[in-house]
Amino acid sequence: MLEQLLIFTRGGLILWTCKELGNALKGSPIDTLIRSCLLEERSGAASYNYDAPGAAYTLKWTFHNDLGLVFVAVYQRILHLLYVDELLAMAKREFSEIYDPKRMNYNDFDETFRQLRKEAEARAEELKKSKHVGKPVNDGKKQGQVKKGGFEVGNKKKSEANDGGDGDTGKSYKLENGHSNGNHVNIEGSRAVVANSKENASSNVGAFDVSKLQKLRSKGEKKTDTVVNKGSKVHPKKKITKKNRVWDDSPQESKLDFTDPLEENVNENIEVVGTDHGESMMDKEEIISSDSEDESEEVGKESKPDTKKKGWFSSMFQSIAGKANLEKSDLEPALKALKDRLMTKNVAEEIAEKLCESVAASLEGKKQASFTRISSTVQAAMEEALVRILTPRRSIDILRDVHAAKEQRKPYVVVFVGVNGVGKSTNLAKVAYWLLQHEISVMMAACDTFRSGAVEQLRTHARRLQIPIFEKGYEKDPAIVAKEAIQEAACNGSDVVLVDTAGRMQDNEPLMRALSKLVYLNNPDLVLFVGEALVGNDAVDQLSKFNQKLADLSTSPNPRLIDGILLTKFDTIDDKVGAALSMVYISGAPVMFVGCGQSYTDLKKLNVKSIVKTLLK
């Protein structure tokens, strides 16, 4: 049964709800749909599943882009209602006829909707009955064909003799040859086919011959035997290594080892940084060049359809007068060009496709303005969508959160997670340097007890920055080490604890379980995912599986997921900035830091306008 149907404007004004249904929805499925699907440019999806305590809903929707209306239907997921799409389409058609922007009351639509629902339910029942009636007949035919193919292959001559009598038997005979001797080959059937391969040679022109396969297998076995026998006789040759040429007058070679054997003066060689490196790039405003390049020309050239060529007068007239309503076929060429462009900028293919579907859904049926081309309309819609996705939905002011935690007399805890080799420890030191610039006391926690040299690496950063480090060595439980580090920071009065964790692949379940335990046990204020800007399609897999594992392996009913993203190696990608879009789209978490170099000052904020301009350039 349908739980609810709502009609509201894109501004959020509810115009009509079905009073006849009147079911109180558990949770807030409509708000969640708007927040996490419609505003995040995921409206190209077919449906949205919402889980609430004691209920599981499926939501379907459609737009009237010209009028700016949204139609949403909610029903129990277990029901699988077949008529919802048709009901939404009919409600959209009928309501658009009576819609007036100045009108607020649509009580007269109740009776119209009641009739529409009855019609849709009746059609769905008829469709279900027709399917039930048609199933046994088809199943019977298929069973008969399988039986013939499996056990009655020897009686082919009888069927050949009676072929001219009945048209249906002729059809079944053709199907029999096509399926039993071709695609559906079981053990008994394959033996029969091998036995009767000469009889059926004329009829089985396109079928697969099992006897040929057996001959090929036997030949392959013989060849492998001969190769093994030959190999057993011939001894394997030893690998010949080339020796260096020795000249008569040349001195003896000395081993090139320039490592310092003295371990006592290690601390003296470490440079103390303090505040010598200057101001961090986080506190500098990035200047964007104001020269606006008109990219619509290029999109227009790429998106020319290959169908009919229009004359210059008709195209000019259409651009002046504007088109009545944009159709999907009109948008496809421009969207394909934009999708290819996004993929060349390193955006994951799945994300680029979903974005284009969402833009198409927002433009379909909308009236095109005068003196505009479809390509420029599509590009403007895509630009608006990209800005909306990349703009953080919540505050990412860490300094304010740190001061708020300081007032409560507890340390602000940040956990750095990610795959191997992305630069977690290095960028942790950059964040520590930036916090030191704002006179915030920082302590590092060496919780990477898995990788050799990880504790020494963090210890080196701590010495250079002159900040305390909490370490317990290797092969310890990282969750316990982090807990003791937080307790130590609370005693010493440190404002922020930066927790370094081991790099782990998203499919490594033991390490992911340890990470889930660390997050659950310590409940950090911020979980930062450190990812490379170099990745393409793998960004989707990494972030989605990290979130999935943190949710699945957590013992808490409300598990902590990734709160923010730190994008590293941003200075190595030129204009291939698509990883930022892929990561934000798949996780919904904002990019809080961008690493763009090797020194402590090379950390900056993500400039959304610059990224969008680069993606569409």
The reply to whether 549 falls in a domain is yes
pLDDT at 495: 94
Is the confidence at residue 304, as pLDDT, over 80?
no
Q: Which two tokens stand for residue 160?
A: 């050949």
At 377-387, the pLDDT tens digits run 899 999 999 99
Last residue of a domain, one of 69, 96, 125: 125
- Mean of pLDDT values over 276-295: 58
- Mean of pLDDT values over 17-34: 80
Is the confidence at residue 257, as pLDDT, over 50?
no
**Cα(377)–Cα(331) distance, integer angstroms:** 9
| Least confident range of 146-155, 277-286, 388-397, 405-414 | 146-155
The reply to whether 21 falls in a domain is yes
More confident residue, 414 or 21: 414
527 and 564 belong to one structural domain: yes
342 and 367 belong to one structural domain: yes
The reply to whether 594 falls in a domain is yes
378 and 402 belong to one structural domain: no
- Mean of pLDDT values over 44-63: 83
How many domains does the chain contain in total?
3
pLDDT at 489: 94
pLDDT at 198: 41
CA 466 to chain centroid, in Å, comes to 40
592 and 536 belong to one structural domain: yes
Last residue of a domain, one of 90, 106, 125: 125
More confident residue, 224 or 495: 495
76 and 92 belong to one structural domain: yes
The reply to whether 182 falls in a domain is no
pLDDT at 140: 44
The reply to whether 276 falls in a domain is no
For 55, the domain range is: 2-125
**Cα(81)–Cα(490) distance, integer angstroms:** 56
Last residue of a domain, one of 100, 125, 150: 125
Residue 400 binned pLDDT confidence (cut-offs 50, 70, 90): very high
418 and 359 belong to one structural domain: no
pLDDT at 176: 39
At 409-453, the pLDDT tens digits run 999 999 999 999 899 999 999 999 999 999 999 999 999 988 889
- Mean of pLDDT values over 391-406: 89
| Contact present, 68 and 9 (Cβ < 8 Å) | yes
**Cα(503)–Cα(417) distance, integer angstroms:** 7
Kindly report the number of other CB atoms within 10 A of residue 189's CB atom. Answer: 20
CATH assignment of the domain containing 419: 3.40.50.300
385 and 405 belong to one structural domain: no
At 529-549, the pLDDT tens digits run 999 988 877 888 888 889 888
**Cα(425)–Cα(361) distance, integer angstroms:** 43
Is the confidence at residue 479, as pLDDT, over 60?
yes
More confident residue, 40 or 490: 490
Is the confidence at residue 116, as pLDDT, over 80?
yes
- Mean of pLDDT values over 298-302: 43
Is the confidence at residue 484, as pLDDT, over 70?
yes
Residue 81 binned pLDDT confidence (cut-offs 50, 70, 90): confident
- Mean of pLDDT values over 34-55: 78
pLDDT at 320: 46
The reply to whether 181 falls in a domain is no
pLDDT at 124: 84
Region for 453 from its dihedrals, namely left if φ exceeds 0, alpha if ψ lies in -120 to 50, beta otherwise: left
What rounded mean pLDDT belongs to the chain? Answer: 76
- Mean of pLDDT values over 564-588: 90
The reply to whether 197 falls in a domain is no
469 and 382 belong to one structural domain: no
Residue 295 binned pLDDT confidence (cut-offs 50, 70, 90): very low
pLDDT cut 70: percent of the chain above it: 69
185 Cβ neighbours under 8 A, 6+ residues apart: 193, 208, 210
Is the confidence at residue 181, as pLDDT, over 50?
no
438 and 535 belong to one structural domain: yes
Q: Which two tokens stand for residue 472?
A: 């317990």
pLDDT at 46: 72
pLDDT at 217: 53
CA distances from 112 to 92, 94, 105 (A): 12, 8, 15
The reply to whether 365 falls in a domain is yes
477 and 371 belong to one structural domain: no
490 and 375 belong to one structural domain: no
| Stretch (H or E) spanning 103 | none
> Is-above-0.85 flag for pTM?
no
333 and 429 belong to one structural domain: no
Q: Which two tokens stand for residue 200?
A: 């059926």
- Mean of pLDDT values over 360-367: 85
